[in-house]
Structure 1
Amino acid sequence: MAVDALDTKILRLLLEQPRTSVREYARVLGVARGTLQARLDRLERDGVITGTGPTLSPAALGHPVLAFVHVEVTQGHLDELGDALASVPEIIEAFSITGGGDLLTRVAARDNAHLEDVIQQLIQLPGVVRTRTEVALRERVPYRMTGLLDSVDRTAPARPAP
């Protein structure tokens, strides 16, 4: 799906001013409300916009320890293990990967002892061969999309004239 210059402007506004109304976005961008709504609907339908909810802080929810746990999986068990990981609430993300492991999970824990308990729970899941854990010390670059959006904007086609 091609994202054009107007789409990137809409996406930037959504990132920078997430609580603004569609009417206000349309006013700021100088487009009709219907045009903006149609663009938003298309961006959602095409999977560019994947959510509209708030971003929550695990630390503020009492889980300040962040760790990345690499999981090596017995061949043929990746899908079933992925399903099993979804039942562990402290696992907030999981990706199948290449390199030193088969899965990479992001784990939020209350403290180091709780992290160890989560890892022990992971080790008991069918198909887990071994794990390797890296504890995050400090966030250096928070999750962001504006830099990527800038890159897309530089290569996006210009909006067609009405």
Structure 2
Amino acid sequence: MRELDKLDKEIIMLLQEDARYSNTFIAQKLEVSEGTVRSRVNRMLEEQVFEFVIHSKPEKIGLSVSAIIFICTELGYQDKAANELSRQPEVRFVSVFSGPYDLIIQAYFSSNDKLVEFINQKLSNIEGISSVSVSIELKKYKDSFNYAEF
């Protein structure tokens, strides 16, 4: 992958503003040709610099409970547990962090009962998970995939 230049970064910033912007609109805004924008976007997609996704609002589709779940695993089971967690439809995010927990996940549920069911029926059956700690989101101030300008 080659390094992103100023034009690549400007295209990304505009698409972060509104991914529905057409190549023609972006080209006019940046004073370049539509073909330049199209080829840059296609190259960045191929190089996986970004991807287009639908970011639905969980609460608007019936998922009113958002939880961050902190997980401790037995030695040697971190990757296996992370891969199994990644396959769970409720789970949006799985990552390894430094600190007291081996894995941190974010998951969405339609109710507290569904969260409890997930913990007791799914997490308890994943080999290598030794303990979990659950934090439920009480109030959201920001949920964005726009990053600081670069």
The normalised TM-score by structure 1 is 0.83
Q: What does residue 125 of structure 2 align with?
A: 124
Letter in 2 for 1:5: K
Rounded to whole Å, the distance in 2 between the matches of 1:58 and 1:142 is: 11
5+ residue gaps, structure 1, are 153-162
Identity of aligned residues (%): 24
Kindly report which structure 2 residues correspond to 1:141-152, keeping only aligned pairs within 5 A, or say none.
141-146=142-147, 148=148, 150=149, 152=150
Residue in structure 1 matched with residue 43 of structure 2 by the alignment: 42
Shift of 1:63: 0.9
Give 1:30's aligned residue.
31
SS at structure 1 position matched to 2:59: coil
2: distance between equivalents of 1:58 and 1:35? 36
Structure number with greater CO (CA < 8 Å, separation at least 6) is 1
Structure 1 position 72, deviation (Å): 0.5
Partner residue in 1 for 2:91: 91
Structure 2: gaps (5+ residues): none
Give the paired residue count: 148
Paired position in structure 1 for 2:101: 101
Runs of at least 4 residues off by over 3 Å: none
1:143 deviates by 1.7
SS at structure 1 position matched to 2:134: strand
| Residue type at the aligned position of 1:54 | I
CA-atom RMSD in angstroms: 1.6
- 2:82 matched to which residue of 1? 82
1:131-142 pair list within 5 angstroms: 131-142=132-143
User: 1:19-40, CA deviations, whole angstroms, 9 ceiling, x for partnerless residues?
Assistant: 1221222122110122112221
